[in-house]
C-alpha cells in the first residue's frame, strides 16, 4: 500500500487554488483566440481581446483573473491502494484553501447563509470523493464563481419530454442567465442519476479540457447540437449580442430511475479556473 | 451612432440625459463601491432616517467586491458583479439622486422604469476582466462598513474606467437590442 501524507494534500490544494486564480488554462486561451476569429460582432471581438489581455495581465502581474476568486470545489479520486497518513484528509484540504487564499491575496467569498457573515478564510471547500482502483490520488481543484453558479439549474423532467425536452431546458437556462453569467460560457450538462447526481455530473463535466472531444461519439454529437442551439440565442460575449455565447457544451450521462429524467445545467463563466494535481 | 464620452462625477441630469445605449463612457475621478451587504446597510440607514457614509447625489456606484491588494498595490482584481441582486435596493438610491451604476447583467423592469423617472443610467463593464479593469483604479480607500471585508464600501479614484451604456434615460436596453440582432430562429 502506498502512503501519502496529508501535508502533501494540503500543499497541493494551496498551490492549486493560487495557480488556478492567476493562470487561465491554455484551453481557455485557445478558445478565446478561436472565438475572436469566429465572432461577427465587432463589440464581441473587442470583448475577446479584453479577455485575452486580462489573462495575460493576470499571469504577468499576479492579479487574480477575476475578483470573485470563487468557492473551492475539490473532486478527489482516491486510489484504493493509497493509505493517507499524518492527519485528517478533509482538514488538510481546508487548510490548503485557508493558506492559499491568504498567501495568494485571493478574495474570501464564503459566508454564513443567513447572517451573511464572512467565514474569513474562504472555507469550507466542497469535496467530492470517489474511490477508484490504483495507487494515485488525483485532485481536481475548481474555484467556482458565484455569478455563473447562481444561474445554474436542476430539473426533474418527465421522461416523456425526451431529448427535445432536455435541449429546451438547457437553452432556456442559458437564455435566462443572459449577460449576468459572464459569457462566453461553458455549459456543463449532467443527465441521469438522481437529483444530486445530475448536478455533480454537470459540474464534473466542466473539468474536461475544452480542446478534447467527448470520448463517447454519441454524446459528442449531442454536445454539438446543444452548442449550436445555445449560440443561436445571440447573447454573445458579455451579453452584448454576438455569435459566440458558449465556447463549449460538456455532457455526462448515466442511467436513471424508470420514473425520472434528472437534468442539471451547471454554467461556467469564461473565468473557468481549475487545476489538476496527481499525488 | 454610438459615441465615447468622458464622465467626471458628480454627474448632473444634463450630463446623463444625452447618454444612449451603446455609448462608451470613460469615467474619471471618484466612484464608490457597493455590493449586496453594503446596499442592505445603506437602505437600513435610509429607513432609520440616518445620514449615509457618502453623498449619493450625482454619484456613480460600482458593484464590485475587489480582491485584496498585494503590498505596494492599490487594489486587487476589480471587475463588476451581477447587478440584478441590487435591483430591490436601487430605486430608493435613484430617488436620492444616484446618477449611474456599473455592473453586469440585466436590470429589473422596476429599475429600468426608475432610471427613466429619476434620469440615471446603468453602465456595463466587462465581467470577468477583473485584472484588466483594476489597472484603471489609481486609489482605493474603505469609507464604510470595514467589517464587511470585500463587501465594504470603497471610495475609488479611477482614470478612464471603460463602461458601456446598457440602460439609458429613455428606457432602452442594450442587451435586448444587441441580442435581437444576432438571435437566430431555427425550427
Domain C-terminal end among A144, A175, A206: A144
Domain C-terminal end among A144, A162, A186: A144
The answer to whether residue B1 neighbours chain A at the CB level (below 8 Å) is no
pLDDT at A168: 98
- Pairs of CB atoms within 8 A across A/B: 168
In a domain, A15, yes or no: yes
Residues A243 and A151 in one domain: yes
Of B36, B77, B148, the CB nearest to A64: B77
In a domain, A58, yes or no: no
Averaged over B7-18, what is the pLDDT? 97
pLDDT at B94: 98
Residues A91 and A174 in one domain: no
Q: Which of residues 92-131 of B touch A (CB under 8 A)?
A: 104-106, 124, 126-131
| Closest A-chain CA to B76 | A63
pLDDT at A76 over 70: yes
- Banded model confidence at residue B128, pLDDT cuts 50, 70, 90: very high
pTM: 0.95
Buried b (16+ CB within 10 A) or exposed e, B15-51: bbeebbbbbebbbbebbbbbbbbbbbbbeeebeeeee
In a domain, A69, yes or no: yes
- Banded model confidence at residue B1, pLDDT cuts 50, 70, 90: confident
Residues of chain B neighbouring A100 (CB-CB closer than 8 A): none
d(CA A101, nearest CA chain B) in Å: 10
Averaged over A262-276, what is the pLDDT? 97
Averaged over A91-107, what is the pLDDT? 98
pLDDT at A272 over 90: yes
Residues A81 and A135 in one domain: yes
Q: Which residues contact B114 (CB under 8 A, 6 or more apart)?
A: B90, B91, B94, B95, B120
Q: Which of residues 26-65 of B touch A (CB under 8 A)?
A: 36-37, 64-65
Q: State pLDDT tens for residues A143-157.
A: 999 999 999 999 999
Is residue A41 within 8 Å of A25, Cβ to Cβ?
no
In a domain, A49, yes or no: no
Residues A162 and A127 in one domain: no
- CB spacing of A269 vs B134 below 8 angstroms: no
Is residue A226 within 8 Å of A189, Cβ to Cβ?
yes
Q: Which of residues 149-178 of A touch B (CB under 8 A)?
A: 150, 178
pLDDT at B185: 79
Residues of chain A neighbouring B84 (CB-CB closer than 8 A): 180
Omega before residue A145 within 30° of 0, cis: no
Residues A161 and A108 in one domain: no
- CB spacing of B132 vs A179 below 8 angstroms: no
Averaged over A4-13, what is the pLDDT? 98
The answer to whether residue A181 neighbours chain B at the CB level (below 8 Å) is yes
Domain C-terminal end among A144, A173, A201: A144
In which element (H, E) is residue A73 found?
A: strand A71-79
Residues A13 and A114 in one domain: yes
In a domain, A115, yes or no: yes
The answer to whether residue B84 neighbours chain A at the CB level (below 8 Å) is yes
Residues A124 and A167 in one domain: no
C-alpha cell at B130: 477583473
Residues A112 and A237 in one domain: no
In a domain, A163, yes or no: yes
Q: Strand A246-256 and strand B153-167: pairing?
A: unpaired
Is residue A233 within 8 Å of A245, Cβ to Cβ?
yes
Q: State pLDDT tens for residues B137-163.
A: 999 999 999 999 999 999 999 999 999
For chain B, give the percent of residues with pLDDT over 70: 99
Residues A183 and A253 in one domain: yes
For chain A, give the percent of residues with pLDDT over 70: 100
- CB spacing of B68 vs A69 below 8 angstroms: no
| Closest A-chain CA to B179 | A241
pLDDT at B187 over 60: no
Residue A194 burial by Cβ neighbours in a 10 Å radius (0-12, 13-18, 19+): middle
- CB spacing of B37 vs A116 below 8 angstroms: yes
- CB spacing of A271 vs B151 below 8 angstroms: no
Of A66, A109, A234, the CB nearest to B179: A234
CB atoms within 10 A of CB B98: 22
Residues of chain A neighbouring B21 (CB-CB closer than 8 A): none
pLDDT at B119: 98
Split into its structural domains, chain A has a count of 2
Residues A135 and A157 in one domain: no
Mean pLDDT of chain A: 97
Q: State pLDDT tens for residues A225-258.
A: 999 999 999 999 999 999 999 999 999 999 999 9
Domain ranges of chain B: 4-186
pLDDT at B37: 94
The answer to whether residue B145 neighbours chain A at the CB level (below 8 Å) is no
Q: State pLDDT tens for residues A25-43.
A: 999 999 999 999 999 999 9
Averaged over A91-108, what is the pLDDT? 98
For chain A, give the percent of residues with pLDDT over 90: 99
- CB spacing of A54 vs B129 below 8 angstroms: yes
CB atoms within 10 A of CB A232: 16
Averaged over A187-211, what is the pLDDT? 98
Residues A150 and A245 in one domain: yes
Is residue A178 within 8 Å of A111, Cβ to Cβ?
no
Residues of chain B neighbouring A65 (CB-CB closer than 8 A): 77, 128, 130-131
d(CA B59, nearest CA chain A) in Å: 23
Provide the domain limits for residue A13. 2-22+65-144
- CB spacing of B83 vs A118 below 8 angstroms: no
Q: What are the catalytic residues of B?
A: 39
- CB spacing of A269 vs B179 below 8 angstroms: no
Residues A197 and A251 in one domain: yes
Provide the CATH topology of domain B4-186. fumarase (3.20.130)
Percent helix / strand / coil, chain B, rounded to 5: 30, 25, 45
In a domain, A257, yes or no: yes
The answer to whether residue B178 neighbours chain A at the CB level (below 8 Å) is yes
pLDDT at B186: 65
The answer to whether residue B148 neighbours chain A at the CB level (below 8 Å) is yes
Round to whole Å and give the CA distance between A73 and A276.
12
Amino acid at each position: 500500500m502506498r502512503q501519502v501524507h496529508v501535508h502533501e494534500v494540503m500543499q497541493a490544494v494551496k498551490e492549486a487554488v493560487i495557480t488556478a486564480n492567476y493562470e487561465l488554462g491554455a484551453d481557455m486561451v485557445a478558445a478565446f483566440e478561436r472565438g475572436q476569429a469566429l465572432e461577427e460582432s465587432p463589440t464581441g471581438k473587442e470583448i475577446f481581446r479584453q479577455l485575452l489581455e486580462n489573462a495575460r495581465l493576470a499571469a504577468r502581474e499576479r492579479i487574480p483573473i477575476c475578483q470573485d476568486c470563487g468557492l473551492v470545489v475539490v473532486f478527489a479520486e482516491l486510489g484504493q491502494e493509497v493509505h493517507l497518513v499524518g492527519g485528517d484528509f478533509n482538514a488538510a484540504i481546508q487548510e490548503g484553501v485557508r493558506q492559499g487564499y491568504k498567501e495568494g491575496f485571493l478574495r474570501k467569498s464564503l459566508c454564513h447563509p443567513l447572517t451573511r457573515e464572512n467565514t474569513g478564510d474562504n472555507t469550507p471547500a466542497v469535496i467530492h470523493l470517489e474511490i477508484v482502483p490504483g495507487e494515485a490520488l488525483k485532485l481536481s481543484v475548481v474555484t467556482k464563481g458565484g455569478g455563473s453558479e447562481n444561474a445554474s439549474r436542476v430539473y426533474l423532467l418527465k421522461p416523456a419530454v425526451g431529448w427535445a425536452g432536455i435541449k429546451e431546458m438547457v437553452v432556456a437556462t442559458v437564455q435566462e442567465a443572459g449577460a449576468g453569467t459572464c459569457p462566453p460560457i461553458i455549459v456543463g450538462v449532467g443527465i441521469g442519476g438522481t437529483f444530486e447526481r445530475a448536478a455533480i455530473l454537470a459540474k464534473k463535466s466542466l473539468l474536461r479540457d475544452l480542446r478534447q472531444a467527448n470520448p463517447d461519439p454519441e454524446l459528442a454529437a449531442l454536445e454539438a447540437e446543444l452548442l449550436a442551439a445555445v449560440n443561436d440565442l445571440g447573447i454573445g460575449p458579455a451579453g452584448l449580442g454576438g455569435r459566440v455565447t458558449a465556447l463549449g457544451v460538456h455532457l455526462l450521462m448515466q442511467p436513471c430511475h424508470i420514473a425520472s429524467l434528472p437534468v442539471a445545467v451547471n454554467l461556467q463563466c469564461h473565468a473557468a479556473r481549475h487545476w489538476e494535481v496527481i499525488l | 451612432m454610438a459615441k465615447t464620452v468622458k464622465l467626471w462625477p458628480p454627474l448632473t441630469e444634463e450630463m446623463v440625459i444625452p447618454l444612449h445605449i451603446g455609448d462608451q463612457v470613460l469615467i474619471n475621478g471618484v466612484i464608490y463601491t457597493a455590493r449586496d451587504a453594503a446596499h442592505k446597510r445603506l437602505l437600513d440607514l435610509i429607513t432609520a432616517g440616518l445620514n449615509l457614509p457618502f453623498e449619493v447625489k450625482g454619484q456613480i456606484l460600482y458593484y464590485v467586491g475587489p480582491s485584496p491588494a498585494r503590498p505596494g498595490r492599490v487594489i486587487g482584481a476589480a471587475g463588476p458583479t451581477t447587478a440584478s441582486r441590487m435591483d430591490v435596493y436601487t430605486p430608493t438610491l435613484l430617488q436620492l439622486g444616484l446618477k449611474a451604476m456599473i455592473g453586469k447583467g440585466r436590470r429589473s423592469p422596476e429599475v429600468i422604469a426608475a432610471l427613466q423617472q429619476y434620469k440615471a443610467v446603468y453602465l456595463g463593464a466587462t465581467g470577468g476582466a477583473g485584472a484588466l479593469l483594476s489597472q484603471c483604479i489609481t486609489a482605493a480607500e474603505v469609507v464604510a462598513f470595514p467589517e464587511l471585508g470585500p463587501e465594504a464600501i470603497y471610495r475609488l479614484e479611477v482614470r478612464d474606467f471603460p463602461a458601456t451604456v446598457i440602460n439609458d434615460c429613455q428606457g432602452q436596453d442594450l442587451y435586448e437590442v444587441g441580442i435581437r440582432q444576432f438571435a437566430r430562429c431555427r425550427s
